[in-house]
Chains A and B, each alone.
Chain A
Amino acid sequence: MQITLSACQENNSFILYFVAGFSNLLYNKHPKPVAVILQTEQLNKRYGGIQAVDRLSLQVEQGSIYGLLGPNGSGKTTTLGMVLDVIRPTSGSFAWFGQPVSRTTKHRIGALLETPNFYPYLTARRNLEIAAEIKGVDHKRIAQVLHLVGLSQRSHTTFKGFSLGMKQRLALAATLLNDPEVLVLDEPTNGLDPEGIAEVRELILQIAAQGKTIILASHLLDEVEKVCTHVAVLQKGMLRAEGRVDTILSAKDQFIISARNLPQVLEVLKQLPFVAAYQPEGEAVNLTLNEGYGSADVNKAMFEAGVVLQQLTLRRKSLEAQFLEIIKSQA
């Protein structure tokens, strides 16, 4: 019984491979070139004895929402600062749109680094006028972006009179002034209330839907998971993992199963090839599956082994746990 099942499993995966190969073939026949927006090559930054960024090589492709994820002090802001031309790399190089950084590349980018940077004594509108001058943008855009971030009513309030959330939104408005192809956002929801966070995330997704590329630094796993398509995990300036969010962050979910006959369940689990790990916990068993398998596979295998499950629940592993796992497994 068990053997047939495995064979079936293998068959399945064979078909999957076949399909994957076929789609690859299709893909190659009609190559859709994916432009590289930002590429970093062995970027290094040392502050005295501290290695803030350590040989970082990244590649951000057009149309992706690229998350830079890491705890505070992991080098996210330093990395963004280097590619935005305000922090000098100790060594290494980077290119925007395949070119070295210049006024032309900068005008294709909208970026917000660390904090909203404005003149406190100037009104929102006047602050944006300065930004528009520097970016070489028509002043008509100012009213549009203010409206977009919901600050139209407050355009004549001085920046110092703004709440943190409003400051953050004004900064977002400034990044949108030149209708950039790429948005670089450093902790864009920092200091916002839940409503503001939801609004900003919605705005980011809207902008991304227009085919724009977004690079987003965050220490919030939840945020990266909800917003990003790709993620790079940083720790102590080193790249710990990089890839699509669904493969990096949500790979190994946990299942909880229980049945009347627990020993038999354990017996079956022992022999299932796609079970990565399992652990009895009271009346139930926690198990982790190999990549590419889901609850249906467990259910099917159990049923075929003559076990009727009473409970089969998917428990998403806490993101923090996943994060620690990524960091541990790469260390």
Chain B
Amino acid sequence: MNLIRVELHKMLPYRTVWAILAIFVVLMLLILYAGSEITINGQELGEQMYDLPKFWQILAYIASFFNMLFGVLLIVLVTDEYTFRTLRQQVIDGMSRAELVLAKFYVVLGLGAFATVFLLVLGLYFGLLHGQNHSANAVFGQIDHLSYYYVQTVGYMTLAMLFGFLIRKSGLAIVAFIAYTIVVEPIIHFRLPDSVDKFMPVKALKSLTPMPGQEVLDQLTTPSEALPLPWAVLISLVYIGLFWFLSYFTLKLRDL
């Protein structure tokens, strides 16, 4: 694939990419090590936490904190192309606008795959080393949480890509992306009934990695309504398609 080769040429020597991936890797390891030290009621959480198959969901949930980080990376990669005017040069040299968006979408898929494979390695390492149950049933029982995580991180990055193409300036795009995902949409959630806001993009994406033990919490408080997983996947895929199309539309309508 020519587009993938072009993107790899740009990314592999780029320090920012490696720095952000390194931050993700280091912080994930740190959280997992620290997590086992947490003591509740005089009992270390450690051994329980790494128990497969539950561990997959915990991993996906922890990793979901770093979606913002990947979003920022995508915004940097997209807005760079405006700053360096390379988007313009690539169109002059023969790429279509659809290919520009497609190339960045491949980057999204690739980074998502990297993160997911990293989670798989983490899960197997910690699960097999510290977990109790090593039967195949236990190890691969709930591994589908990784695929939900994949859809989620791809969703966040595609949204970030849209912000990048739309706003063009990296600083502004990053602020707008973070503001939308953690301030604006949650505020809208307050004003809307759960039955409606569960379909909103950030909430639908979030419901892909439910918090472990949410069921227990729901019994104590009024449960907040979220999409069941298969539905969340479907809605998320629709949003990913929509963000992709809006990015393309932005390029189509604007001068480069």
**What residues of chain A have their CB less than 8 Å away from a CB belonging to chain B?**
81, 84-88, 103, 106-107, 111, 113-115, 117-122, 126, 129-131, 133-136, 174
A84 touching B255 by the CB < 8 A rule? no
CB neighbours of B191 from chain A (8 A):
none
User: What DSSP secondary structure best describes chain B's contact surface?
Assistant: helix
Closest to A82 in B: B255
Please determine whether A117 and B89 come into contact, CB atoms closer than 8 angstroms: yes
The answer to whether B255 and A81 touch across the interface, beta carbons within 8 angstroms, is yes
Question: Which residues of A lie under 8 Å from residue B15 when comparing CB positions?
Answer: 121
B91 on the A face (CB < 8 A): yes
CB pair A119–B2 under 8 Å, yes or no, is no
**Is the beta-carbon distance between A126 and B9 smaller than 8 angstroms?**
yes
5 pairs of residues in contact across A and B, judged by CB atoms under 8 Å? A86-B88, A111-B92, A117-B88, A117-B89, A118-B86
Cα A81 to Cα B87 in complex, Å, equals: 13
- CB pair A133 B94 closer than 8 Å: no
Contact A86:B255 (CB < 8 A) given known A106-B92, A135-B94: yes
A135-B94 Cα distance, complex, nearest whole Å: 6
A106/B94 in contact, CB under 8 A: yes
B84 to chain A, nearest CB (A): 6
Minimum CB distance partner of A104 in chain B = B94
Q: A119 vs B89: C-alpha distance in the bound complex, in angstroms? A: 11
* A122-B94 in contact given A86-B256, A115-B85 (Cβ < 8 Å): no
Q: Closest A-chain residue to B83, C-beta based? A: A120
Q: Which residues of A contact B80 (CB under 8 A)?
A: 119
Of chain A, the residue at the smallest CB distance from B12 is A126
The answer to whether A117 touches B2, judged by C-beta atoms less than 8 angstroms apart, is: no
Tell me if A88 and B93 are in contact (CB < 8 A): no
Q: Is the CB of B88 within 8 A of A113?
A: yes
| B90 interface contact, C-beta 8 A | yes
B95 on interface, CB distance cutoff 8 Å = yes
State the 8 A-B residue pairs at the shortest beta-carbon distance, nearest first. Answer: A117-B89, A117-B85, A106-B94, A86-B256, A87-B255, A134-B93, A133-B6, A84-B92
The residue that B255 contacts in the complex, of A88, A106, A107, A133, with Cβ under 8 A, is A88
The smallest C-beta distance from A162 to any residue of chain B, in angstroms, reads: 14
B11 to chain A, nearest CB (A): 10
Task: Say what secondary structure dominates the interface of chain A.
Answer: loop
- Could you tell me if B6 and A113 are in contact, using CB atoms closer than 8 angstroms? no
CA separation between A131 and B256, bound complex, in Å?
Answer: 18
Return chain A residues, CB-CB under 8 Å to B253: 88
Tell me if B13 counts as interface (CB < 8 A to partner A): yes
Q: In whole angstroms, what is the CA distance A85 to B88 when docked?
A: 9
Quote the shortest CB–CB distance from A131 to chain B (angstroms): 6
**CB contact under 8 A between A133 and B85, given known A85-B91, A113-B92:** no
With A86-B91, A103-B96, A134-B94 known to touch, is A119 a contact of B256 (CB < 8 Å)?
no
Contact B13 A134 (CB under 8 A): no
* Known contacts A118-B84, A119-B86, A130 near B9 by CB under 8 Å: yes
- CA of A81 to CA of B92, assembled, Å: 9
In the complex, chain A residues whose CB is within 8 Å of the CB of B88: 86, 113, 117
Assess whether A134 is in contact with B256, with CB atoms less than 8 Å apart. no
Select which of A88, A113, A120, A133 is within 8 A of B2 by beta carbon. Answer: A133
From B6, B254, B255, give the contact of A134 (CB < 8 A): B6
| Besides A88-B255, A113-B88, 14 new A-B residue pairs in contact (Cβ under 8 A), listed by A number | A84-B92, A86-B255, A113-B89, A113-B92, A119-B10, A122-B13, A126-B9, A130-B9, A130-B10, A131-B89, A134-B2, A134-B6, A135-B94, A136-B2
Q: What chain A residues lie within 8 Å of B2 (beta carbons)? A: 133-134, 136
In contact, A131 and B10 (Cβ under 8 angstroms) = no
Which residues does chain A contribute within 8 Å of B254, judged by CB atoms?
A: 88
Docked complex Cα distance between A122 and B2 (Å): 19
Q: Are B255 and A130 in contact (CB under 8 A)?
A: no
* B14 close to chain A: CB less than 8 A: yes
**A contact residues around B92 at 8 Å (CB):** 84-86, 106, 111, 113
**B93 and A120 contact, CB distance less than 8 A:** no
Give the distance in Å from the alpha carbon of A133 to the alpha carbon of B5 in the complex: 8
Q: How far is the CA of A223 from the CA of B70 in the complex (A)?
A: 49
* A269→B91 CA distance, assembly (Å): 59
Give the CA-CA distance A84 to B90 in the complex, in Å: 11
Residues of the A chain whose Cβ atoms lie less than 8 Å from the Cβ of B5: 133
A309 to B246, CA, bound (A): 77
Q: Which of A115, A117, A126 has the most CB of B within 10 A?
A: A117
Point out the residues of chain B lying under 8 angstroms from A129, CB to CB.
9
The interface centre, meaning the residue of A86, A107, A121 with most chain B CB atoms within 10 A of its CB, is A86
State in angstroms the CA–CA spacing of A330 and B228 once bound together: 72
Contact pattern, B 70-107, Cβ under 8 Å of A = 1, otherwise 0: 00000000001000111011111111100000000000
Residues of the B chain whose Cβ atoms lie less than 8 Å from the Cβ of A119: 10, 80, 84, 86
